[in-house]
Protein backbone atom coordinates (compact mmCIF):
# COMPACT_ATOMS: atom_id res chain seq x y z
CA UNK A 1 0.00 0.00 0.00
CA UNK A 2 1.33 3.45 -0.85
CA UNK A 3 2.05 5.82 2.06
CA UNK A 4 -0.80 8.18 1.18
CA UNK A 5 -3.32 5.32 0.95
CA UNK A 6 -2.13 4.02 4.30
CA UNK A 7 -2.53 7.53 5.74
CA UNK A 8 -6.07 7.80 4.37
CA UNK A 9 -7.00 4.38 5.75
CA UNK A 10 -5.56 5.31 9.15
CA UNK A 11 -7.61 8.51 9.13
CA UNK A 12 -10.76 6.63 8.13
CA UNK A 13 -10.17 4.07 10.88
CA UNK A 14 -9.70 6.80 13.51
CA UNK A 15 -12.74 8.79 12.36
CA UNK A 16 -15.08 5.79 12.35
CA UNK A 17 -13.78 4.13 15.52
CA UNK A 18 -16.45 5.63 17.85
CA UNK A 19 -19.21 4.34 15.56
CA UNK A 20 -17.54 0.94 15.35
CA UNK A 21 -17.29 0.70 19.12
CA UNK A 22 -21.00 1.40 19.53
CA UNK A 23 -21.80 -1.17 16.84
CA UNK A 24 -19.50 -3.70 18.55
CA UNK A 25 -21.26 -3.18 21.89
CA UNK A 26 -24.61 -3.80 20.20
CA UNK A 27 -23.34 -6.94 18.44
CA UNK A 28 -21.89 -8.27 21.68
CA UNK A 29 -25.18 -7.73 23.49
CA UNK A 30 -26.99 -9.66 20.75
CA UNK A 31 -24.29 -12.36 20.63
CA UNK A 32 -23.53 -11.54 17.00
CA UNK A 33 -19.85 -10.63 17.22
CA UNK A 34 -18.18 -12.15 14.12
CA UNK A 35 -15.19 -14.48 14.28
CA UNK A 36 -12.25 -13.26 12.19
CA UNK A 37 -9.65 -15.70 10.87
CA UNK A 38 -6.30 -14.26 9.79
CA UNK A 39 -3.74 -15.85 7.52
CA UNK A 40 -0.02 -15.16 7.28
CA UNK A 41 2.61 -16.73 5.02
CA UNK A 42 6.20 -15.95 5.91
CA UNK A 43 7.61 -13.87 8.78
CA UNK A 44 11.21 -12.85 8.09
CA UNK A 45 13.43 -9.83 7.64
CA UNK A 46 15.39 -11.13 4.63
CA UNK A 47 14.21 -11.36 1.01
CA UNK A 48 11.12 -9.17 1.48
CA UNK A 49 8.21 -9.77 -0.88
CA UNK A 50 4.43 -9.21 -0.88
CA UNK A 51 3.80 -12.39 1.15
CA UNK A 52 6.49 -11.78 3.79
CA UNK A 53 5.95 -9.81 7.00
CA UNK A 54 8.86 -8.27 8.97
CA UNK A 55 9.37 -9.75 12.42
CA UNK A 56 8.83 -6.39 14.12
CA UNK A 57 5.47 -5.91 12.40
CA UNK A 58 4.37 -9.44 13.27
CA UNK A 59 5.26 -9.01 16.93
CA UNK A 60 3.38 -5.70 17.06
CA UNK A 61 0.31 -7.26 15.44
CA UNK A 62 0.30 -10.20 17.87
CA UNK A 63 0.59 -7.77 20.78
CA UNK A 64 -2.32 -5.68 19.42
CA UNK A 65 -4.44 -8.81 18.92
CA UNK A 66 -3.77 -10.15 22.41
CA UNK A 67 -4.78 -6.86 23.98
CA UNK A 68 -8.11 -6.62 22.17
CA UNK A 69 -9.28 -10.08 21.13
CA UNK A 70 -9.75 -13.56 22.43
CA UNK A 71 -7.46 -15.65 20.22
CA UNK A 72 -8.91 -19.13 19.77
CA UNK A 73 -8.22 -22.19 17.64
CA UNK A 74 -10.32 -23.11 14.61
CA UNK A 75 -12.31 -25.71 16.53
CA UNK A 76 -13.46 -23.15 19.10
CA UNK A 77 -14.23 -20.70 16.30
CA UNK A 78 -16.47 -23.29 14.65
CA UNK A 79 -18.25 -24.04 17.92
CA UNK A 80 -19.12 -20.35 18.36
CA UNK A 81 -20.30 -20.01 14.77
CA UNK A 82 -22.39 -23.19 15.02
CA UNK A 83 -23.88 -22.08 18.36
CA UNK A 84 -25.20 -18.95 16.59
CA UNK A 85 -23.84 -16.79 19.40
CA UNK A 86 -20.53 -15.07 20.11
CA UNK A 87 -20.30 -12.22 22.59
CA UNK A 88 -16.60 -11.41 22.47
CA UNK A 89 -14.20 -10.04 19.83
CA UNK A 90 -12.64 -13.25 18.54
CA UNK A 91 -9.81 -14.00 16.14
CA UNK A 92 -7.89 -17.04 14.88
CA UNK A 93 -4.35 -17.10 13.47
CA UNK A 94 -3.31 -19.33 10.57
CA UNK A 95 -0.29 -19.68 8.28
CA UNK A 96 -0.24 -20.91 4.67
CA UNK A 97 2.35 -22.67 2.50
CA UNK A 98 5.03 -23.64 5.03
CA UNK A 99 8.21 -21.53 5.12
CA UNK A 100 11.27 -22.60 7.08
CA UNK A 101 11.94 -19.05 8.35
CA UNK A 102 8.76 -19.15 10.40
CA UNK A 103 10.56 -21.49 12.78
CA UNK A 104 13.07 -18.75 13.60
CA UNK A 105 10.79 -16.04 15.00
CA UNK A 106 7.03 -16.35 14.44
CA UNK A 107 6.52 -19.88 15.72
CA UNK A 108 8.68 -19.46 18.86
CA UNK A 109 6.89 -16.18 19.65
CA UNK A 110 3.43 -17.73 19.39
CA UNK A 111 4.38 -20.80 21.40
CA UNK A 112 6.05 -18.68 24.09
CA UNK A 113 2.99 -16.44 24.33
CA UNK A 114 0.68 -19.49 24.28
CA UNK A 115 -1.19 -18.20 21.25
CA UNK A 116 -3.03 -20.96 19.34
CA UNK A 117 -2.58 -21.14 15.58
CA UNK A 118 -3.02 -23.52 12.64
CA UNK A 119 -0.18 -24.18 10.23
CA UNK A 120 -1.17 -25.17 6.66
CA UNK A 121 1.44 -26.77 4.40
CA UNK A 122 1.64 -28.00 0.82
CA UNK A 123 2.93 -31.53 1.23
CA UNK A 124 4.89 -32.12 -1.98
CA UNK A 125 6.94 -28.97 -1.31
CA UNK A 126 7.60 -29.81 2.33
CA UNK A 127 8.29 -33.51 1.79
CA UNK A 128 10.27 -32.92 -1.39
CA UNK A 129 12.13 -29.79 -0.21
CA UNK A 130 10.88 -27.94 -3.30
CA UNK A 131 10.43 -24.16 -3.33
CA UNK A 132 6.96 -22.85 -4.10
CA UNK A 133 6.14 -22.02 -7.74
CA UNK A 134 5.27 -18.40 -6.94
CA UNK A 135 8.71 -17.97 -5.34
CA UNK A 136 10.46 -19.56 -8.33
CA UNK A 137 8.50 -17.31 -10.70
CA UNK A 138 9.61 -14.29 -8.65
CA UNK A 139 13.25 -15.39 -8.85
CA UNK A 140 13.54 -16.10 -5.11
CA UNK A 141 13.30 -19.85 -4.41
CA UNK A 142 12.78 -19.76 -0.63
CA UNK A 143 13.24 -22.79 1.61
CA UNK A 144 10.08 -24.63 2.71
CA UNK A 145 9.57 -26.28 6.08
CA UNK A 146 10.86 -29.80 6.59
CA UNK A 147 9.02 -32.84 7.89
CA UNK A 148 11.04 -32.57 11.10
CA UNK A 149 9.71 -29.02 11.51
CA UNK A 150 6.14 -30.30 11.23
CA UNK A 151 6.77 -33.05 13.73
CA UNK A 152 8.24 -30.48 16.11
CA UNK A 153 5.15 -28.30 15.71
CA UNK A 154 2.78 -31.22 16.19
CA UNK A 155 4.66 -32.30 19.32
CA UNK A 156 4.15 -28.77 20.68
CA UNK A 157 0.40 -29.11 20.18
CA UNK A 158 0.18 -27.00 17.03
CA UNK A 159 -2.61 -27.89 14.58
CA UNK A 160 -1.13 -28.87 11.21
CA UNK A 161 -3.46 -28.47 8.23
CA UNK A 162 -3.30 -29.40 4.57
CA UNK A 163 -2.81 -26.87 1.76
CA UNK A 164 -2.92 -29.18 -1.28
CA UNK A 165 -0.07 -31.36 -2.42
CA UNK A 166 1.28 -29.03 -5.10
CA UNK A 167 -0.05 -25.54 -4.23
CA UNK A 168 -2.07 -25.34 -7.45
CA UNK A 169 -5.29 -23.51 -8.26
CA UNK A 170 -8.29 -25.79 -7.79
CA UNK A 171 -10.46 -24.02 -10.33
CA UNK A 172 -9.42 -25.91 -13.45
CA UNK A 173 -8.69 -29.36 -11.99
CA UNK A 174 -10.58 -32.52 -12.86
CA UNK A 175 -12.44 -34.42 -10.15
CA UNK A 176 -9.61 -36.96 -9.83
CA UNK A 177 -7.06 -34.16 -9.55
CA UNK A 178 -9.15 -32.47 -6.85
CA UNK A 179 -9.23 -35.72 -4.89
CA UNK A 180 -5.46 -36.12 -5.26
CA UNK A 181 -4.73 -32.59 -4.07
CA UNK A 182 -7.30 -32.37 -1.26
CA UNK A 183 -7.47 -35.93 0.04
CA UNK A 184 -3.92 -36.85 -0.90
CA UNK A 185 -2.41 -34.01 1.13
CA UNK A 186 -4.44 -35.09 4.16
CA UNK A 187 -3.19 -38.64 3.76
CA UNK A 188 0.43 -37.45 3.34
CA UNK A 189 0.36 -35.50 6.59
CA UNK A 190 -1.47 -38.15 8.58
CA UNK A 191 1.10 -40.75 7.50
CA UNK A 192 4.00 -38.51 8.46
CA UNK A 193 2.60 -37.09 11.71
CA UNK A 194 0.54 -40.08 12.87
CA UNK A 195 -2.38 -37.86 13.82
CA UNK A 196 -5.60 -36.65 12.28
CA UNK A 197 -5.44 -33.68 9.93
CA UNK A 198 -8.67 -31.77 10.45
CA UNK A 199 -8.47 -28.61 8.32
CA UNK A 200 -7.79 -27.72 4.70
CA UNK A 201 -6.88 -24.28 3.31
CA UNK A 202 -7.47 -23.65 -0.39
CA UNK A 203 -4.30 -22.31 -2.10
CA UNK A 204 -4.92 -18.74 -3.28
CA UNK A 205 -8.44 -19.12 -1.86
CA UNK A 206 -10.19 -16.71 -4.19
CA UNK A 207 -13.70 -17.21 -5.56
CA UNK A 208 -12.40 -18.87 -8.75
CA UNK A 209 -10.60 -21.45 -6.60
CA UNK A 210 -13.66 -22.31 -4.51
CA UNK A 211 -15.64 -25.04 -6.25
CA UNK A 212 -18.56 -26.79 -4.64
CA UNK A 213 -16.93 -30.09 -5.66
CA UNK A 214 -13.85 -29.19 -3.62
CA UNK A 215 -16.00 -28.52 -0.56
CA UNK A 216 -17.82 -31.82 -1.03
CA UNK A 217 -14.58 -33.78 -1.40
CA UNK A 218 -13.07 -32.13 1.67
CA UNK A 219 -16.20 -32.73 3.73
CA UNK A 220 -16.53 -36.40 2.83
CA UNK A 221 -12.78 -36.97 3.30
CA UNK A 222 -13.24 -36.15 6.98
CA UNK A 223 -11.95 -32.60 7.14
CA UNK A 224 -13.64 -30.60 9.89
CA UNK A 225 -13.39 -27.32 7.99
CA UNK A 226 -12.19 -25.61 4.81
CA UNK A 227 -10.58 -22.17 4.76
CA UNK A 228 -10.87 -19.66 1.93
CA UNK A 229 -8.79 -16.49 1.62
CA UNK A 230 -10.79 -13.81 -0.20
CA UNK A 231 -11.64 -11.83 2.94
CA UNK A 232 -14.80 -12.00 4.98
CA UNK A 233 -16.21 -12.41 8.47
CA UNK A 234 -17.66 -15.55 10.03
CA UNK A 235 -20.97 -14.51 11.55
CA UNK A 236 -22.61 -16.61 14.27
CA UNK A 237 -25.11 -18.83 12.49
CA UNK A 238 -23.07 -19.18 9.29
CA UNK A 239 -22.05 -22.63 8.08
CA UNK A 240 -19.01 -23.39 10.30
CA UNK A 241 -17.44 -25.72 7.72
CA UNK A 242 -16.46 -22.79 5.48
CA UNK A 243 -14.09 -20.51 7.39
CA UNK A 244 -13.56 -17.19 5.62
CA UNK A 245 -10.15 -15.65 6.19
CA UNK A 246 -8.61 -12.18 6.08
CA UNK A 247 -5.07 -11.53 4.86
CA UNK A 248 -2.93 -10.17 7.70
CA UNK A 249 -1.51 -7.36 5.62
CA UNK A 250 1.86 -5.82 6.43
CA UNK A 251 0.03 -2.51 6.75
CA UNK A 252 -1.36 -2.69 10.29
CA UNK A 253 -3.87 0.07 9.51
CA UNK A 254 -5.60 -2.29 7.09
CA UNK A 255 -5.59 -5.08 9.68
CA UNK A 256 -7.14 -2.81 12.31
CA UNK A 257 -9.73 -1.64 9.82
CA UNK A 258 -10.81 -5.22 9.08
CA UNK A 259 -10.80 -6.52 12.64
CA UNK A 260 -12.77 -3.68 14.20
CA UNK A 261 -15.44 -4.65 11.64
CA UNK A 262 -15.69 -2.18 8.82
CA UNK A 263 -19.45 -2.00 8.09
CA UNK A 264 -18.67 -1.81 4.37
CA UNK A 265 -17.19 -5.31 4.57
CA UNK A 266 -19.83 -7.08 6.66
CA UNK A 267 -21.18 -8.62 3.48
CA UNK A 268 -18.23 -8.66 1.14
CA UNK A 269 -19.00 -8.50 -2.60
CA UNK A 270 -16.91 -11.64 -3.09
CA UNK A 271 -19.06 -13.75 -0.75
CA UNK A 272 -19.19 -17.33 -1.97
CA UNK A 273 -21.77 -19.95 -1.05
CA UNK A 274 -20.59 -23.50 -1.84
CA UNK A 275 -23.63 -25.10 -0.20
CA UNK A 276 -24.54 -25.91 3.37
CA UNK A 277 -22.19 -28.22 5.28
CA UNK A 278 -23.43 -27.45 8.78
CA UNK A 279 -24.74 -30.96 9.42
CA UNK A 280 -21.77 -31.58 11.71
CA UNK A 281 -18.67 -29.69 12.79
CA UNK A 282 -16.87 -33.06 12.64
CA UNK A 283 -18.17 -34.84 9.52
CA UNK A 284 -18.16 -38.61 8.90
CA UNK A 285 -15.45 -40.24 6.81
CA UNK A 286 -16.67 -42.55 4.09
CA UNK A 287 -14.30 -42.16 1.16
CA UNK A 288 -12.90 -45.44 -0.04
CA UNK A 289 -9.39 -46.08 1.34
CA UNK A 290 -8.09 -46.59 -2.22
CA UNK A 291 -8.94 -42.97 -2.99
CA UNK A 292 -7.01 -41.80 0.05
CA UNK A 293 -3.80 -43.29 -1.33
CA UNK A 294 -4.22 -42.11 -4.92
CA UNK A 295 -1.40 -40.10 -6.43
DSSP string computed for 138-204: TT--PPBP-HHHHHHHHHTTPEEEE--SS---STT--HHHHHHHHHHHHHHHHHHHSS---EEE-SS
pLDDT digits (tens, 9 = 90+) for 183-195: 999 999 999 999 9
- Domain range annotation of the chain: 3-292
Q: CB–CB of 229/83 below 8 Å? A: no
The predicted-structure confidence for 210-232, as pLDDT tens digits, reads as follows 989 999 999 999 999 999 998 88
Asked if 272 and 215 count as a contact pair (C-beta separation under 8 A), the reply is: no
The domain defined by 3-292 folds into TIM Barrel (3.20.20)
- pLDDT for the residue 11: 84
69 vs 269 pLDDT, higher one: 69
The per-residue pLDDT for 273 is 67
* Residue 1: pLDDT band with limits 50, 70, 90: low
Mean pLDDT, rounded, of the chain: 89
Q: Which residue has the higher pLDDT, 88 or 7?
A: 88
Q: Can you give the pLDDT at residue 293?
A: 37
Rounded mean pLDDT, 153-168: 97
| Per-residue pLDDT, 201 | 98
**pTM of the predicted structure, to 2 decimals:** 0.90
Amino acid sequence: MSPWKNLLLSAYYAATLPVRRRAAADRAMRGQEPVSVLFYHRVADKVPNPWTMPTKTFAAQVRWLRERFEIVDLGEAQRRIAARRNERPTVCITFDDGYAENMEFAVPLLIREQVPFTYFVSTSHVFGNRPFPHDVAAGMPLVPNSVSHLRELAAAGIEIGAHNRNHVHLGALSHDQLVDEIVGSKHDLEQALEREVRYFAVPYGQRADLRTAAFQIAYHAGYHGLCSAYGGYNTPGDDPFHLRRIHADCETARLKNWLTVDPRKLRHPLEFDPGDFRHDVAPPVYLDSAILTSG
